[in-house]
A and B are shown apart, each in its own frame.
Chain A
Amino acid sequence: MSVKYIPVQWNRNKWIYDGFMLAGVVGFLTVFLYLSPELLSHERPINPQVHNARAFGACTFMMLSVILAIGPLARLDRRFLPLLYNRRHFGVMTAAVAITHFGYILNWYFAFSSSNKYEALLFANTSYTQASGFPFEAFGLLALMCLLILAATSHDFWLKFLTAPVWKRIHYLIYVAYASVVAHVSLGILQDQQNQLFTWIFIITALAVAGLHLAAFLHERKAGDPVGNPGEQGWIAVCKAEDIPEARARIAVLPGSDRVAVFRMENKLSAISNACAHQNGPLGEGKIIRCLVTCPWHGFQYDVRSGRSPAPFTETIPTYRLTVRDGMVWVDPAANPPGTYVEPVEVPA
C-alpha cells in the first residue's frame, strides 16, 4: 500500500521473492546453454544465436507455466499463497525473457532480408491453411503482445485506474498467451525434435498447468462459499453467530453474486465486502489482528468496522448492516458506500 505512487514497491519479502526468481532464471539458462546441450536436442550443430533463442524461449514457457500454476495451487492449498504475493514481478520478468527470445529470432532469421525485418516476420511464411508448416511465429507474436500488455499494465496505478474487475479481465490475456505459446511450441520446435526429452517435458508441463486449473475449479464448486438464504425484508441469513471463530470470518454469497464477510472481533460482529480494493482478494479468508483484517493475497489491511485502511493509506471497501436474531446472523444485502462506519453488533450470550 502507498499514499503516493512510486516506480516499484519493494520490501524485504519482495526482494527475497525476486532474488529467488532471478536465481531460477539464471539457473535455467545456465543449464540449458552450458550443462546439457545433448539432452535438449542440440546434438546437431547450431549457432549461438539460435542456441540463445531456444534457451530464452524455453525459459519463457517454463516461467509462464509456473505463473499459471500458482493461482490454482493457492486455491487448492493455502500454503502456496506466499507465491501469489509478488506474482506481478514474475510476470514482468517473463515478458523481458520473452522479448529477448523474440530479439534473437528476429535478428537471426529475419535480419538479412532486404525488407524490413518486422514485415519479413509477417510475410516469410503465409501457409495459414495447413497444419504442417503452419506459420507458428504468429502464435509467438500473439503471446508476446499479450505478455507486453500484461507487463505494461502491472503497476498499481492501473489497478486503481481501471478497477480490479476490469484489470482482471485484461489480465485474463495470460491464458491466451499460454495457449498461444503451447501452439507456438507444438507447431514449431516440436516438429523438429530429434530427442524426446524436451517433448515430454513440454507435454507434461502444459497438461499439468491445464489440469491444475480444472482441479481448482472442481474444488471451488465442491467447497465454495455458501449462498445466503433470503428472509424478511430482503435480509440474508449468513450463518449462526456461534459458527464464526474469534478474529475470523464466514463468507456468504449475496443476491447479485457479491460476497459478504462477517467477522467476529472481541465478541462483536462486523460485515464488510469480501473483495479487497486492491485486486479483489478474498478478505474473508484473512485474520483480524488489532482491529485490522489482512488480505491473504497482498497484505492490504482494513478496519472491519469502517472498511477503511489505517492512515495514511486511503483504500476503502463497502460495509454492510447486520443483525443477530435467534442466534442467526442476518445481513442487509444493500452495501453501504465504501468506508462507511457501522457499529459492531454484540453476539448474544
Chain B
Amino acid sequence: MNAAEGLFWLARIWLIAGGFVAALFLTVGIDRIDEDARGAYVFRPLLIPGILLIWPLVLWRWWTLESGRFDPNSRYRPVRAAHGLVAIVLCIVVLGTIILGLSVRQHWPADVAPQRLTAFGEVSQ
C-alpha cells in the first residue's frame, strides 16, 4: 500500500465510523441532550455530513452533556482574544505566499526561458 492508498483507506474508515456515530446520535442521542430536537425530524439528515466529518467531537460533546460535566457559563465567553493573532498571521502568510509564488514564477517579472523542473517520466511523450 502506498501513501496515497493509505490516506484514502484512512478517509474511508473515518467516514464509516462517522456513519455509525451518525446513526446512533440521530436516533438516540439527540433527543436526550437537546429538547429543541424532540419531535423535529426533517432537519436531522442535514446533520449527517457534519457528524461524518467531526464525529469524535460529537461523541465528546454528547458525553459532556449527558454527564453534566461542563460549565453552563462557558457558553457566554466569546472567542475574541485570537482576533489580533489571526489578523497578524493572516497578513504574514498571505503576503509571504504571494511573494513566494511570484519569485518562483518563470514568466515574471521578465520573460525568461522556462526551466524543466523534473525529468521526463517513463511514459511521457
Contacts and interface: CB of A to CB of B under 8 A. Distances in A.
A130 B117 contact: yes
A112 interface: no
Nearest to A199: B108
Interface in A204-250: 206-207, 209-211, 213-214, 216-217, 220-221
Nearest to A154: B50
Contacts of A207: 94-95, 98
A123 B75 contact: no
A114 to B, nearest CB: 11
B84 to A, nearest CB: 5
A186 B43 contact: no
A153 interface: yes
A123 B4 CA distance: 6
A116 interface: yes
B79 to A, nearest CB: 5
The contact size tier of chain A is 35 or more
B34 interface: yes
A1 B74 CA distance: 21
A214 B39 CA distance: 46
Nearest to B71: A163
A337 to B, nearest CB: 7
A15 interface: no
Contacts of A211: 91
Interface residues of B, number: 61
A149 B53 contact: yes
Interface string B83-117: 11011111101110110111111111000000001
Interface of A is mostly: helix
Given A5-B43, A7-B43, A210 B77 contact: no
B87 A206 contact: no
Nearest to B50: A152
- By secondary structure, the B interface counts as helix
Contacts of B65: 161
A3 interface: yes
Interface in A174-200: 175, 178-179, 182-183, 185-187, 190-191, 193-194, 196, 199
A36 interface: no
A284 B82 CA distance: 21
Contacts of A299: none
Interface string B27-55: 00000011111111011001101101110
Nearest to B100: A131
A56 to B, nearest CB: 20
Contact of A183 (B3, B81, B91, B97): B97
A162 B57 contact: yes
A275 interface: yes
B122 interface: no
Given A179-B97, A214-B91, A165 B78 contact: yes
B47 A258 contact: no
A83 B11 CA distance: 36
B8 interface: yes
Given A182-B98, A280-B77, 17 more contacts: A130-B117, A155-B43, A157-B37, A160-B34, A165-B77, A168-B78, A172-B82, A179-B93, A179-B97, A186-B98, A187-B101, A206-B98, A207-B98, A209-B94, A220-B83, A259-B78, A317-B76
Q: Nearest 5 A-B pairs (CB), nearest first?
A: A186-B101, A280-B78, A122-B4, A152-B50, A152-B49
29 contacts: A6-B43, A7-B46, A119-B8, A122-B3, A123-B3, A127-B118, A131-B103, A132-B117, A133-B117, A152-B52, A155-B50, A158-B50, A161-B34, A162-B61, A175-B86, A179-B90, A190-B101, A190-B105, A191-B101, A199-B108, A210-B87, A213-B91, A214-B87, A214-B91, A258-B77, A314-B35, A314-B36, A338-B73, A338-B75
